[in-house]
Amino acid sequence: MKERITALLAEIDGLLAASKDEVEALRIKYLSKKGAIPTLIDDFRNVPSDQKREMGMLINQLKQKAQDKIQLLKEQFENSTSSYSYIDLSRSAYPVKLGTRHPISLVKEEICDIFKRLGFSIAEGPEVEDDWHVFSSLNFAEDHPARDMQDTFFIQSNPDVVLRTHTSSVQTRVMENTQPPIRIICPGRVYRNEAISYRAHCFFHQVEALYVDKNVSFADLKQALLFFAKEMFGENTKIRLRPSYFPFTEPSAEMDISCNICGGKGCPFCKHTGWVEILGCGMVDPNVLENCGIDSKIYSGYALGMGIERITNLKYQVKDLRMFSENDVRFLDEFKSAY
């Protein structure tokens, strides 16, 4: 019997368990009514009288050790993190509805990703700006209509401080503090004092791009625009550049794309022209480069800018700009599959 007790002691010393179920199985094996230790106790009656005292003490030690070991293993799992411990028991039993990404955020990130593949990096700046960075450095004349109260939100206590009307102010800040080559995109919110309607709002979002380096030409701009249009709207998209005017670029152009609804054949969305305007662009005016401390005789560059709402309208056929800022959950739910 002593050999059996010694063997059981060695077994119990090495007991391990990977789950509560295994702990229970060990308890049954060693301590249940028909387990190894109760069976040993039943055989105690056959021990010679002169050995009963010694064997009795050894059996009691074995039983106590087995109970302690099983309890230790059980506590190990009771104190460990349960697979259900992440559940908040105070939470409502009703399923929580998942939110969706806003369509403006989706399109902004898609635009940025396209230009990142062309080597552009993201630059950001303040929404509350000064006159120099928003207008003067960008070649706006003192009597330019864009400075008028009808277009710009001025801070009443300081007429030199405005809410930026375009993210071009970020470009001027970068050019003032960085020597070429410069290749940046500037996404952000802008503000203009306009009547809110289905096609206009007092705040909206823009992405502008700037590339300044030696020997940058209009051909480089056209190639970047064509790449963007095909990546954004599909391989079959065509582009058209029309002469235009912006104070900060010369020459300037507006870019149209072939209507992605009718494929350029003509429909009510494109007013039966087959073309839809999406952005303005041009070569950076030498005066702007000089204003920002860049030698226009050595460096040239191009700039382009687009309204994210406009691109989102084209991509998802959203006909009312106000829907982007009304936070109607029914509208946002339509974009669950867009990411």
Q: Is residue 46 part of a domain?
A: yes
Question: In this predicted structure, what is the pLDDT of residue 274?
Answer: 86
Structural tokens at position 257: 């794309």
Query: Quick one: 249 and 164 in the same domain?
Result: yes
- Domain membership of residue 31 (yes or no) is yes
Same domain, residue pair 68 and 165:
no
User: Does residue 81 surpass a pLDDT of 70?
Assistant: no
90 lies in a domain? no
CA distances from 255 to 9, 175, 258, 278 (A): 87, 25, 10, 6
Average pLDDT of the chain is: 86
Tell me, yes or no, whether 187 and 318 share the same domain. Answer: yes
pLDDT digits (tens, 9 = 90+) for 137-179: 998 888 777 776 668 888 877 878 989 999 999 999 999 999 9
Chain center to CA of 19: 39
Residues 62 and 137 in one domain: no
> What CATH number is associated with residue 148?
3.30.930.10
Q: Is 334 contained in some domain?
A: yes
Together in a domain, 70 and 158: no
Confidence (pLDDT) at 7: 83
Report yes or no on 89 lying in a domain.
Answer: no
pLDDT at 290 over 60: yes
pLDDT for the residue numbered 49: 83
Residue 301 clears pLDDT 80, i.e. is over it: yes
Tell me the per-residue pLDDT of 6-35, one tens digit each, with 9 for 90 and over: 888 888 888 888 888 888 888 888 888 888
Answer yes or no: is 276 within a domain: yes
Please determine, for residue 79, whether its predicted confidence score (pLDDT) is greater than 70: no
pLDDT on residue 339: 52
Residue 288 lies in a domain: yes
For residue 193, pLDDT over 80 is answered with yes
Domain that holds residue 248: 103-338
Q: What is the pLDDT of residues 237-272, one digit of tens each?
A: 899 999 999 999 999 999 999 887 777 787 777 788
pLDDT of the residue at 145? 78
Per-residue pLDDT, averaged over 36-53, amounts to 82
Query: Do residue 238 and residue 301 come from a single domain?
Result: yes
Taking residues 67-96, what's their average pLDDT?
Answer: 72
**Cβ contacts of residue 186 below 8 Å, gap of 6+?**
122, 123, 124, 125, 167, 168, 170, 171, 206, 207, 208, 209, 210
In whole angstroms, give the CA distance from residue 206 to residue 189: 6
Q: In terms of Cα–Cα distance, which of 254, 256, 274, 273 is closest to 264?
A: 274
Is residue 288 exposed (0-12), middle (13-18) or buried (19+ Cβ within 10 Å)? buried
Quick one: 73 and 116 in the same domain?
no
- Rounded Cα distance, 52 and 58, in Å: 10
> How many domains does the chain divide into?
2
Q: What is the pLDDT of residue 166?
A: 92
Same domain, 47 and 126: no
74 and 138 housed in the same domain: no
Give the predicted TM-score (pTM) of the model: 0.67
Least confident of 41-45, 79-83, 112-116, 188-192: 79-83
Does residue 173 share a domain with residue 69? Answer: no
Which DSSP symbol is given to 179?
A: P
180 and 245 housed in the same domain = yes
pLDDT at 85 over 60: no
Same domain, 154 and 288: yes
